[in-house]
Amino acid sequence: CSSDLKGAKDSKEKHKRILIYNFKVYLVVAFCFAVVTLYSMIFGSQNSVVGVLVLLVLMILRQVDFGIDTKHSIAVIFMIFGILAAGPRLANTVSAGWTFLIHFVCIMAILILSCHNVIMSNHSTFVLSYLLLQGYDVSGADYEKRIVGLLLGMVICMAVFYKNQRLRPYRRSFLDLFREFHFRSARNWWYI
């Protein structure tokens, strides 16, 4: 924004650019509010966190990638949403020792799947989503609605991701995420 303002010829143009920038910000806030409200209305207020999660994931997946082939990335999104659907709920039904193990395995899987390129910071959004779902646990009919909400969000995120990334060339595939996993690498120590 500051570079746009510096390029303004006079104060009238500067004010016009500020107005446009503010309008864009308000549009994004309105969109976020609408998504979370819609999720709350459809899936219940207990599942408004799913609306927040889908919104966060959608915001990152429209711009960044996983560093692997786009079609393989779609499978990664499916796996991550599967972890988000099952991991937090399962962890809330077992004893503390098992809870720790489930969280460790789920978060490690999310890191391996989403964080091949640490600079993209995909992992932070997915781990935050996992923690939000774990903290706002539901059961019974509310959990069934949560699963449907996650499935809907997953499909939307996949569609947006594919639309934005389909033409990007890649040299890595899904299996490279695991082939390049070495205990001595800095990235993998970062995961741990």
> What is the rounded CA–CA span in Å between residue 132 and residue 48?
11
Express each pLDDT in 84-121 by its tens digit. 999 999 999 999 999 999 999 999 899 888 876 666 66
Cβ atoms of 118 and 16 within 8 Å: the answer is no
Q: Crossing angle of helices 96-114/70-91, nearest 10°?
A: 170
Read off the pLDDT of residues 68-83 as tens digits, 9 standing for 90 and up. Answer: 788 888 999 999 999 9
Q: Give the integer Cα–Cα distance in Å for 10 and 24.
A: 21
Burial (CB count <10 Å: 0-12, 13-18, 19+), residue 137: middle
**pLDDT of the chain, 192 residues: tens digit per residue:** 555 656 667 778 777 878 888 898 899 889 889 988 999 999 998 999 999 999 989 888 888 877 778 888 899 999 999 999 999 999 999 999 999 999 999 998 998 888 766 666 677 889 999 999 999 999 999 999 999 999 999 999 999 999 988 888 777 776 666 666 666 766 666 666
pLDDT of 129: 92
Q: What is the pTM of this model?
A: 0.80
Amino acid making up residue 178? F
* Cα atoms in the Cβ-side hemisphere of radius 13 Å centred on 42: 17
- Residue 4 CA, chain-centre distance (Å), reads 29
pLDDT of 121 reads 65
